[in-house]
Amino acid sequence: MSAEIHGTPKRATVLWLLLITATLLTWAMGAADVAGRLTILLLAVLSFWKGSVIILDFMALRHAPVLWRALTLGWMILVWALIAIAYWKGLAR
**pLDDT class of 37 with cuts at 50, 70, 90:** confident
pLDDT band at 1 (very low <50, low <70, confident <90, very high): low
Please state the domain extents for the chain.
3-91
Q: Could you give the C-alpha distances from 5 to 11, 28, 62, in angstroms and in order?
A: 12, 35, 8
Per-residue pLDDT tens digits for 41-63 = 999 999 999 999 999 999 999 99
Q: Which residues of 19-51 are buried (b: 16+ CB within 10 A; e: fewer)?
A: beebeeebeeeeeeeeeeeeeeeebeebbeebb
Q: Global pTM?
A: 0.85
pLDDT at 2 (0 to 100): 63
Q: In this structure, are residues 48 and 80 in contact, taking their beta carbons and an 8 Å threshold?
A: yes
The model's pLDDT over 11-33, given as tens digits with 9 standing for 90+, comes to: 999 999 999 999 999 999 999 99
